């Protein structure tokens, strides 16, 4: 018998769970509770702070939105003008010692001449092939070659995406792409090569905002603070150990039990079915693939170098560094690192040499956040990863060998990226309806396993729409129609 009974139980206080709770709190309908095994809200959008005072998001998150409701909820949680910084994205790809403006495939004009020639030949071949081939691409790799040709595939798209997804592009489907990858305009590329011009900013995150204080995680703590305390349970009171789907009872680490009529779960779908002990669903979930993510942070003493400037995030397709992306996290907010007058000792120099002095000294300080993927198809030397990343920063001229490192950070996320593998859609088409038949709504980045609607705004609305569906039968647009949500046909879409 349950200790407490509610109409709707929400598991997980990341963006998806908070979206569901926010909506349930507004409609004044069913009774509900939200639980989380952590001691704070945020989930995969949380922020960690090092002992020295450097902040690192647990991934490369920025805020851009397709939904007015999402905007309104964030503005309610952080309503003051000085709660936010607004940024223009300044993003590059590192290739052959050059900084090529993002997206790489639209800025062939910035490549060496031999690469320009080979890229144009590949683009023309791809355009000719596309004119006669109407069949849907068999996988992501085929989509890349059809869109960009062999040369751009070989020098950027294949190596970069392998570093991100930790699987070859041939193992991935192509129906997740939507607005995620810019399809090149061959005429514009040729024009820019002749005129020696770069392409303009592309994509939904060309502008973005970032919280002034407490990192991305501060947003979700603020959103959670708009929800009544009596509706939230953290720690062992919120750590699910078992779900009895037949009796509709969730068991928790502190020994308590909560009965429910409907369950919104933002847990990883593969772990959810394990906690249910449902052998059929566990077997089905084996077809869902994911990669792990290592987030590495490096805090440095000194003024931000001119070579770094206002750069936001940077991409690295080459094998001279283990990371696929670097974020200049100190550029997002002056409060993402200790203030100048904070005194910190130097741990060591970037080249591994001992510091000139063990004395704690003032700043200023700046920081870089790196992401490294891992899977059985892309192993990582975890023990030496921090050292290898620092060497990679030197190799790519992000930092100098003599730079003083005052703080480091390393955290592994076992579930990092939900892989849009070839098998994914078939698995989800079977798994999610079977769960819903048991009144379990598996939603969120790893709950519904759809990377194409896995950003913070999407994730939040997956929760909102699940709650709306439970309360009044509304259609879950984000889950079922991701292409529409991400398209210009979506009149709620926010482009700036």
In this predicted structure, the answer to whether residue 496 has a pLDDT above a threshold of 50 is no
The pLDDT tens digits for 98-141 are 999 988 888 999 999 999 999 999 999 998 887 788 788 899 99
In this predicted structure, the answer to whether residue 396 has a pLDDT above a threshold of 50 is yes
**pLDDT given at position 489:** 62
Lowest mean pLDDT, pick from 172-186, 223-237, 317-331: 172-186
Query: Per CATH, is 4-46+212-287+420-485 categorized as 3.50.50.60?
Result: yes
Handedness of CA 205, 206, 207, 210 (dihedral sign): positive
Helices 15-27/456-472 angle, 10° precision: 40
pLDDT, the chain, mean: 93
In this predicted structure, the answer to whether residue 203 has a pLDDT above a threshold of 60 is no
Q: How far apart are CA 401 and CA 286, in angstroms?
A: 45
> Among 421, 415, 345, which Cα is nearest to 161's?
421
Using a 10 angstrom Cβ sphere, with 0-12 exposed, 13-18 middle and 19 or more buried, the burial of residue 289 is buried
Confidence band for 463, pLDDT divided at 50, 70 and 90: very high
pTM of the model as a whole: 0.93
In this predicted structure, the answer to whether residue 274 has a pLDDT above a threshold of 90 is yes
> 243 to each of 262, 263, 330, 369, how far by Cα in Å?
12, 10, 42, 37
For the beta carbon of residue 273, count every other beta carbon within 10 angstroms. Answer: 28
In this predicted structure, the answer to whether residue 495 has a pLDDT above a threshold of 50 is no
Q: How far apart are CA 22 and CA 456, in angstroms?
A: 15
Higher pLDDT, 149 or 88: 149
Higher pLDDT, 178 or 248: 248
**pLDDT given at position 494:** 46
* φ/ψ of residue 122, rounded to 5: -65, -40
Higher pLDDT, 490 or 12: 12
**CATH 3.90.660.20 in the chain, residues?**
290-418
Confidence band for 205, pLDDT divided at 50, 70 and 90: low
Residues 6+ apart with CB under 8 A from 85: 209, 210, 211, 212, 332, 333
Q: How far apart are CA 347 and CA 115, in angstroms?
A: 41
Confidence band for 491, pLDDT divided at 50, 70 and 90: low
**pLDDT given at position 492:** 60
Lowest mean pLDDT, pick from 25-39, 120-134, 432-446, 448-462: 120-134
**pLDDT given at position 473:** 95
In this predicted structure, the answer to whether residue 327 has a pLDDT above a threshold of 70 is yes
CA angle centred on 220, ends 494 and 335, rounded to 5°: 90
Residues 6+ apart with CB under 8 A from 421: 167, 171, 172, 173, 287, 288, 289
148 by DSSP, 3-state: which?
helix
**Residues of the chain above pLDDT 70, percent:** 96
Average pLDDT over residues 158-163: 97
**CATH 3.50.50.60 in the chain, residues?**
4-46+212-287+420-485
Q: How far apart are CA 321 and CA 240, in angstroms?
A: 39
First to last CA, the chain: 51
> 295 to each of 220, 280, 352, 454, 477, how far by Cα in Å?
20, 34, 20, 18, 32
In this predicted structure, the answer to whether residue 37 has a pLDDT above a threshold of 60 is yes
In this predicted structure, the answer to whether residue 1 has a pLDDT above a threshold of 80 is no
Handedness of CA 20, 22, 27, 28 (dihedral sign): positive
**pLDDT given at position 176:** 83
Architecture of domain 290-418: Alpha-Beta Complex (3.90)
Exposure string of 403-437, with b = 16+ CB inside 10 Å and e = fewer, is: bbbbbbbbeebebbbbbbbbebeebbeebbeebee
Higher pLDDT, 190 or 382: 382
Using a 10 angstrom Cβ sphere, with 0-12 exposed, 13-18 middle and 19 or more buried, the burial of residue 475 is exposed
């Amino acid at each position: 018998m349950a200790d407490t009974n509610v109409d709707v139980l929400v598991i997980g206080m990341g963006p998806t769970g908070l979206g569901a709770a926010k909506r349930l709190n507004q409609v004044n309908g069913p009774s509900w509770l939200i639980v989380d095994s952590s001691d704070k809200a945020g989930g995969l959008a949380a922020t960690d702070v090092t002992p020295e005072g450097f902040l690192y998001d647990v991934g490369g998150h920025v805020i851009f939105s397709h939904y007015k409701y999402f905007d309104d909820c964030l503005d309610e949680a952080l309503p003051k003008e000085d709660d936010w910084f607004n940024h223009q994205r300044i993003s590059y790809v590192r290739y052959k010692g050059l900084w090529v403006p993002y997206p790489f495939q639209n800025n062939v004009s910035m490549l060496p001449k031999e690469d320009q020639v080979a890229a144009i030949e590949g683009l023309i071949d791809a355009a000719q092939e596309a004119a006669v081939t109407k069949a849907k691409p068999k996988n992501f790799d085929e989509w890349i070659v059809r869109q960009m040709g062999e040369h751009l595939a070989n020098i950027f798209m294949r190596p970069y995406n392998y570093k991100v997804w930790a699987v070859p592009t041939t193992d991935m489907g192509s129906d997740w792409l939507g607005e995620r990858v810019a399809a090149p305009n061959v005429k514009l590329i040729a024009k820019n090569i002749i005129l020696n011009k770069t392409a303009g900013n592309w994509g939904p995150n060309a502008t973005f905002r970032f919280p002034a204080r407490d990192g991305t995680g501060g947003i979700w703590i603020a959103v959670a603070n708009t929800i009544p305390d009596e509706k939230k349970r953290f720690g062992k009171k919120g750590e699910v150990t078992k779900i009895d789907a037949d009796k509709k009872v969730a068991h928790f680490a502190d020994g308590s039990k909560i009965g429910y009529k409907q369950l919104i779960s933002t847990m990883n779908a593969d772990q959810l079915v394990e906690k249910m002990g449902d052998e059929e669903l566990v077997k089905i979930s084996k077809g869902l693939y994911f990669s792990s993510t290592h987030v590495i942070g490096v805090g440095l003493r000194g003024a931000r170098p001119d070579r770094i400037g206002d750069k936001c995030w940077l991409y690295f397709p080459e094998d001279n560094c283990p990371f696929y992306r670097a974020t200049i996290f100190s550029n997002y907010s002056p409060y993402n690192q200790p203030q100048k007058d904070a005194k910190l000792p130097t741990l060591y120099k970037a080249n591994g040499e001992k510091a000139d002095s063990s004395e704690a000294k003032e700043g200023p300080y700046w920081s870089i956040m790196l992401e490294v993927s891992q899977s059985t198809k892309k192993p990582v030397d975890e023990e030496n990863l921090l050292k290898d990343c620092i060497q990679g920063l030197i190799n790519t001229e992000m930092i100098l060998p003599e730079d003083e490192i005052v703080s480091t950070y390393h955290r592994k996320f076992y579930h990092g990226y939900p892989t849009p593998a070839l098998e994914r859609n078939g698995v989800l088409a079977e798994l999610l309806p079977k769960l819903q038949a048991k009144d379990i709504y598996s939603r969120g980045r790893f709950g519904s396993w759809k990377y194409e609607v896995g950003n913070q705004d999407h994730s939040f609305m997956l929760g909102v729409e699940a709650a709306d569906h439970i309360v009044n039968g509304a259609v879950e647009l984000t889950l079922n129609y991701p292409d529409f949500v991400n398209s210009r046909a979506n009149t709620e879409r926010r482009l700036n």
